[in-house]
Amino acid sequence: MDNWWVNALWSVTPTVLIGLLFAVVLRFILRADRNERRIYREMEAKERERLGLPARDDS
């Protein structure tokens, strides 16, 4: 019975590791996108202020 559990663990391990790697990469991508959008909004707000345009309403 011990051999069965070891085989089961070895069978599941690659799937779990790939899943964790995928989750980490996806988190980094989403965080980078969120930061890029925030920086772009700040830059756009500064330019609108500099040009005297009304603030953009993103509602």
Q: What does the pLDDT read at residue 56?
A: 81
Phi/psi of residue 50, each to 5°?
-65, -35
The pLDDT of residue 1:
64
pLDDT digits (tens, 9 = 90+) for 5-45: 899 999 999 999 999 999 999 999 999 999 999 999 999 99
Tokens of 26: 């996806």
pLDDT given at position 31: 98
What pTM was estimated for this model as a whole?
0.70
Contact (CB, 8 A) for 45 and 55? yes
pLDDT exceeds cutoff 60 at 59? no
